[in-house]
Amino acid sequence: MPRKQYLQHLTEVSHKPPDKNIESVRRGEDDGSFIISYKPPTSSGLEGHIEITGLIPDLADYPSDHQTYLYTSSSEVPAYITDALNTVEGHGLSLFQLIQLIVMSLNKVVLQKHGSRKAMKPGYTTEYEDEDTFMPDFEDEDDLMEEEEDNDSIGGWSDDGAAHLDEVDHEDAQMNDALNDNNRPEILPDLRRDLREAKSAGFRVGVLGDIKGGIDCYISLSIKISKLGLSDEAVNAWKLDKNRYLILLIHFNHYYKPLAILLRHSYHAKQSVQFCVGMSKHYKPTHTEAISAFSKVQPMQNENVYDEGSKAADEGFRGIFISRPLNELLNSRLIDLVIQRVEYTLSWDGSERFLADWQGKQPQHIPNLENYRTTEDTPANLPAIVVLDSLADVSSPTAASFPLIAMQYTLRHLVRCTEFCLVCHNKINNSFEALKPYVCSNPLCLYQYMALGFGPSIEYEIISQPTVVDLLISFCYASAKSNSLTDFPNGMNLLVPRRDSIDPDPLNFQAELDRSELPHTLSCTYGITSPLKRGEWIRVRNPQAVDTYYYRVEDTSCFPKITLSMPVVKPISTPMDAVGAQPVTPQGAPDEGCEQVTCTTFSVNFDEMDYGAKQTAITEIIDTIPPVYDMKTWLEENTTIASQASLRNWTDRISPAAFGVLRWIIASNRSCIIPVDEVDKEGNKAEDTRESRVWGMGDYIQFRFAMGAPDKEQRFVKAVKEAQQKHALKYPTLFAFHGSPLANWHSIVREGLHFKKTSHGRAFGHGCYHSLHLSTSLHYSSQLGKSNQVHLVWPNSCLKVNQAFCLNEIINAPSEFVSTTPHLVVAQLDWIQTRYLFVTMQKEFPPKPSPHGAAQATPKEAKFQKKADYEFKVIPVPNLIFDQDPLMTPLNTKSEKLIIPAAITTRFNESGKAPERTQVAPALAPGPTSTGKLFKVRRSKVSKALGSKSNVNTPDGDYDSDATVQTENEDLLILLSDDEGATKNAGTTIFSRAANLFGIGSSKKKETTPLTDFVPGSLDMLDIPLIPPPSYASSTATRRLQGELKAVLRTQESTPPHELGWYINPDSVTNVYQWIFEFHSFDENLPLAQDMKSLGLKSIILEARFGSSFPMSPPFIRVIKPRFLGFQQGGGGHVTLGGALCMELLTNSGWSAVSSLESVLLQVRMAMTSTEPRPARLVLGRGIQTYGAGEAKEAYIRACKLHGWEVPADFAAF
């Protein structure tokens, strides 16, 4: 009930105002109105109060999608107060959040106008700002590091220290003078120049707040994630979205500062410039999101653990998987690094190493810089926009664009994040490649990564992928049980119980455990003070029994009686016991009452244990971790919209040691594992007919599996092309199995496949061993002894993993293998790409009662066996399959050929078409596993899945360009409002000037006489199908269209045709619901312009139709003539095969009701002239052909379905 919730919130803030500068909050006269009494900060010297009235017109949308209007009801309110209120966006904010946002905005402007210089200095905090404002992504624990960061000095590059204090007042005066209204215009040329440079480099730019670069200026630079050159494996592992924008948000809280000023005033620069990295569906955040990103109202965190289900939350500005490390890096080091680069001509790599070596030191002389002037080692397969370095490419570094520099450095540490430590940010010297970022070998980095929340959210992983978490825990458990762990959670300050020993242990003590009622209690038989503290964990064991209990101490106030939590019972896990069986009290042990027990505290530092003791401690701690589905249930039950649950708070069930080990297991995983099959908490696998499932693998649990560096896929594709050219391969790749014992998989998912360690001998040479026969890999993945298998299974697992093996894609060049018989031995690791991981599950099958009363089998006789239905059942075949080499096809244990889905393995070739190896699956002939039933294969599109891009031959191709998203007016205005530009073209609009500035219109320079061969009004309308005024016409839509048409015609009259690039004949508009317009005067270097010239065309004819819901729904825009080449035929320009425009802007998903049709025309023209992914081309040699309206509608719907865009509700009426 939104209204009830609003009234409750209003009552709460009325009784207890959320800020000390709020005197009162009361209900207004109208329903949905409220009055805030604001008192300026005392340091401002202002007296009295200001009354602010707020109005929520529609309480039904509160508190997630409502609008709020604010105005002052006090008399003689200064203009800067009303201006500040106008910048507050209250959309979707609760009253509590809104009031905090109002106070923050008003406090800042009041103190800047009336506060003392100390209050205004960027290096100091005010009543409403503290360190967290500058570091929004860190929790309170990180404050421990801030003092060190503030005191860092690097030779003479940081203006820190006592000597700098003498300059503070003078510098403050300079900075305050710069804010004087008479001086502020000087800021605009620098801001405009820097943003233009960033725009020209290929980034979207946006401005928020004071768009003239004054106080509280927010600048955003963004790029579509699809343009970063990341593989689908990396995008999924990093939880990114190729359809969204990566955004760097920069906040200048004391006016915009170009690089020259930042270098000159570095001390203040670090305090007055802040950075925040996130992701959004729009190319820039809203003003409210920008303010929240740098405030305590709603601090920007990493990827949210829970989705509240609102569309705004999903599409808005939010953190990415490494937002916190990136923000910390940019805010603490970027300016220092830039200073070093400019002063000593270093590369990014050299500057980072110099900072790491000399941070906090005061060298007596400048060190040998030649050691740091090394060539930047940049991966060759990254896109140019990712590796460009504007500091190295300009003759005068101080004139470079600082926002562009910051964005380029952000991309360096995002795209190459696996090369750097997430805490100290230094390069990691690993001997293996990883798909996910991690920390270096420094124990302090591991501690900060785990303890201070730098790593991924384990709660998110448990909620979203419980089977993957179960799998990771199971791998670690098996490795520790086998004494195979080589990497440990050192440096995390884990306290664990001492390993069992026959010798007396001073850390043990005897006590009586009373289990007769809950909660259990412990009575100590000696001492006058409690040996335990509240919150401490202990292990309790009866020497006469096999049970082990773990308790948290809840209360010691009644010593010698100590109250304990609910017990955590260690599951039985011996070779002859049943995995997952419930603990049974042994015969002779009391079921209840008091018993003598030995207690051991969790007081041993894990780091101080020897190798063997650490293995034992890990297995014991994992034994106490609850089943993953139990943790998932607890998280869901204890999470609210306002509060996200953390397993750290499940204090009576998960010990700190267990939480630390669990976090280490999940966070240290360096591969990407996505479940294909779903398994419930009972271990039952759901029936799955997904397109990503390998046919022929029966009931093996399947996971999509990717390892290696983020560019591993690109290197693999490159190697495939090279091998295909060298050997003329018809089938460039093959699939083969790789099996390894269960104990090895913990290290495999972290280090990838390699052959550094020999497990089964190297009789056939050095390399990674594979087999085309599943039975061979099953043999190598099994344990050495059957009795050894059971105790490697984590008792609380729902998967009960017994074996694991993977299916890899390998370059099909056997002549270059180390060996081909009896195994495929491949030494080139770039030739191998993991695709699938398969695991087998163990189930207990108790013996059935004998019908003749025979004796039952004892528990010791219980045997573990593979699941009874591990048969190769009939399952649907993927619709599109991968065409395999008939002589090199993997076989299951029944010697049947596997069928690999094309949705996983297919890649685009250079022409953009699906490779020939993709084919529709044939019907299978009856065989031993098909029970004589033929498979009916449907021709349907392959669903997108993790892995290499799914490529299905679609009529309209795949367009992914920024040109389909409209640029907001204020962002064009900040780029185009030069005095000289306004003087020369006073009559042109910002859109036509944008076309000229960025080469959208004619490529020729502005001249006094328009130069174009286009003749306005020459179009013969007799050839154009016109429609009568629609019956659905409404007064609202008609008035809006009439106003839009007038605005467009005014622009057309005042702008030279060759500069405008489009034309509407006003005499041809007989129905405002249908516009016929022409695009002309294209850049002569465009292939489209050359095709038009060869056909003798002067323009492209288009039609726009408007529905009954306009302006709430977008227009339908299509090409009438000539016909364009489709994407599959080599065309582009966002024109579909049927002539419709493939643009998100023209769908409900990307449309904005405030968009002007003038801007829409510009955006459509930009899309048509875009050369990404390919330029538009015309159909030649067939004359000038016309599109039909019907085929355009069909193409539009196809494009929307392909991209997941929403079709307007009124589209059917067109």
Q: What is the pLDDT of residues 908-933, one digit of tens each?
A: 333 333 344 555 554 443 333 333 33
**Cβ atoms of 188 and 213 closer than 8 Å:** yes
Q: Indicate the SS3 state at residue 744.
A: helix
Poorest-pLDDT segment among 157-166, 288-297, 436-445, 499-508? 157-166
Handedness of CA 597, 601, 604, 609 (dihedral sign): positive
Q: Give me the mean pLDDT over the 718-743 stretch.
A: 91
Determine the pLDDT at residue 1183.
67
CA 1100/CA 1119 separation, integer angstroms? 7
**Cβ atoms of 223 and 1005 closer than 8 Å:** no
pLDDT in tens, 813-869: 999 999 988 889 998 888 999 899 999 887 543 333 333 333 333 333 333 333 434
Determine the pLDDT at residue 303.
46
The two tokens of residue 1061 are 């690039």
Q: Indicate the SS3 state at residue 837.
A: strand
CA 1141/CA 285 separation, integer angstroms? 26
Residue 6, Cβ neighbours under 10 Å: how many? Answer: 21
Does 803 score more than 50 pLDDT? yes
Q: Where are the domains of the chain?
A: 2-115, 133-360+379-415, 456-490+627-669, 504-570+589-601, 677-847+861-920, 962-969+988-1213
Q: Indicate the SS3 state at residue 83.
A: helix
Does 265 score more than 90 pLDDT? no
**Cβ atoms of 803 and 778 closer than 8 Å:** yes
> H helices within 963-1118, ranges in order?
969-976, 979-984, 990-997, 1035-1054, 1057-1060, 1087-1095
CA 1168/CA 1117 separation, integer angstroms? 12
Poorest-pLDDT segment among 627-631, 798-802, 967-971? 967-971
Does 425 score more than 80 pLDDT? yes
Q: What is the band of 84 on the pLDDT scale with cuts at 50, 70, 90?
A: confident
Cis? peptide before 560, omega within 30° of 0: yes
pLDDT in tens, 874-891: 566 777 788 899 999 999
End-to-end CA distance of the chain, in Å? Answer: 38
pLDDT in tens, 980-999: 444 444 444 555 555 555 54
The two tokens of residue 220 are 């955003």
Q: Average pLDDT, whole number, for the chain?
A: 76
Size of the chain in residues: 1214
Handedness of CA 417, 422, 424, 429 (dihedral sign): negative
Q: What is the band of 1126 on the pLDDT scale with cuts at 50, 70, 90?
A: confident
Q: Give me the mean pLDDT over the 397-410 stretch.
A: 90
Does 653 score more than 80 pLDDT? yes
pTM score over 0.95: no
Determine the pLDDT at residue 797.
92
The two tokens of residue 670 are 């360096």
Q: What is the CATH number of domain 677-847+861-920?
A: 3.90.228
Handedness of CA 201, 204, 209, 210 (dihedral sign): positive
CA 300/CA 139 separation, integer angstroms? 11
Let me know if the fold of 504-570+589-601 is the same as that of 677-847+861-920.
no
**Cβ atoms of 248 and 228 closer than 8 Å:** no
**Cβ atoms of 564 and 520 closer than 8 Å:** yes
Topology given in CATH for the domain delimited by 962-969+988-1213:
Ubiquitin Conjugating Enzyme (3.10.110)
**Cβ atoms of 836 and 807 closer than 8 Å:** yes
CA 1138/CA 1126 separation, integer angstroms? 8
**Cβ atoms of 231 and 711 closer than 8 Å:** yes
Determine the pLDDT at residue 1131.
87
Determine the pLDDT at residue 247.
96
Q: Indicate the SS3 state at residue 683.
A: coil
The two tokens of residue 227 are 């343009």
Q: What is the CATH number of domain 504-570+589-601?
A: 2.40.30
Q: Give me the mean pLDDT over the 1106-1126 stretch.
A: 90
pLDDT in tens, 214-239: 667 899 999 999 999 888 878 888 88
Does 465 score more than 60 pLDDT? yes
* Secondary structure, 3-state, 619-681: HHHHHCCCCHHHHHHHHHHCCCCCCCCCHHHCCCCCCHHHHHHHHHHHHCCCCEEEECCCECC
Nearest to 803 by CA among 716, 721, 867: 867
pLDDT in tens, 1156-1203: 888 899 889 988 988 877 899 998 876 678 888 888 999 999 999 888
Q: What is the band of 812 on the pLDDT scale with cuts at 50, 70, 90?
A: very high
Nearest to 609 by CA among 492, 444, 479, 502: 492
pLDDT in tens, 509-564: 888 898 888 889 988 866 677 888 899 999 998 877 778 899 999 998 888 889 99
CATH superfamily of the 2-115 domain? Ubiquitin Conjugating Enzyme (3.10.110.10)
Determine the pLDDT at residue 589.
42
**Cβ atoms of 723 and 760 closer than 8 Å:** no
Q: What are phi and psi of 1178, to 5 degrees?
A: -100, 155
Residue 258, Cβ neighbours under 10 Å: how many? Answer: 20
Find residue 771's DSSP bridge partners.
Answer: 737
**Amino acid residing at 824:** L
Nearest to 963 by CA among 995, 1002, 989: 995
**Cβ atoms of 217 and 255 closer than 8 Å:** yes
CA 1076, distance to chain mean position in Å, is 42
Output 707 or 129, whichever has higher pLDDT.
Answer: 707
CA 895/CA 909 separation, integer angstroms? 32
Q: Which long-range contacts (CB under 8 A, 24 or more apart) does 1111-1115 make?
A: 1111/1037, 1111/1040, 1111/1153, 1111/1154, 1111/1155, 1112/1153, 1113/1148, 1113/1151, 1113/1208, 1113/1209, 1113/1210, 1113/1211, 1114/1145, 1114/1146, 1114/1147, 1114/1148, 1114/1150, 1114/1151, 1114/1208, 1115/1146, 1115/1157, 1115/1160
**Cβ atoms of 500 and 508 closer than 8 Å:** no
